[in-house]
Amino acid sequence: MTPKGVTLNTNSHKIKFARRFIRTLLKMRKNAPSSSSIEEIRKRSQRIKIAAYSSMAHAVGSRRAWSRAILFKLRNRARHHGMMRRRSMKKRVIKNDPPGDQSQTNKLRQLVPGGKAMDMCSLLEETAHYISCLSTQVKVMQTIADHLSK
């Protein structure tokens, strides 16, 4: 049951996400060797995870700050693929944060994509939308996994 007023188009996000994500999985299936080592399975699960967040961000599009943040990060990643830039991108300086005393707000900023640059009001809005899309993402992935387990 999705609450009204929080996300207007949950169903369309859900379907858009599902289509895109499944297509990515099928592409991976084609490129995958028939017998996979544990190492390959682990690497693939990392790519699947990225595909999931990416598909959801694309389904939402540029309407939301959090999805824009993910898309921006993905594009930068693609651009610097192969260079060691990835490491430096992960380390971010959090302003106004005395060590060992992080407020709940700052913790939330770290969890929501793009949260560090938002003002408080936007952060709360984006959080609500992000949570709703995240739980949709989880439900769809669960459905797919269950379907494949049969």
Question: 51-55 contacts: CB < 8 A, separation 24 or more?
Answer: 51/21, 51/24, 51/25, 52/21, 52/137, 52/141, 53/137, 54/24, 55/17, 55/20, 55/21, 55/24
Structure-token match 């017998």, residue found: 35
Of positions 8, 89, 111, 117, contacts other proteins by CB under 8 A: 111
**Position 29 contacts other proteins (CB under 8 A):** yes
Nearer to other proteins by Cβ, of 92 and 139: the residue is: 139
Q: What distance in Å separates the CA atoms of residue 132 and residue 136, rounded to the nearest whole number?
A: 6
List 26, 78, 84, 93, residue binding other proteins (CB under 8 A): 26
Binding interface with other proteins (CB under 8 A): 3, 6, 14-15, 18-19, 22-23, 25-26, 28-29, 32, 34, 36, 41-42, 44-46, 48-49, 52-53, 95-97, 101-108, 111-112, 119-121, 124, 127-128, 130-132, 134-135, 137-145, 147-149
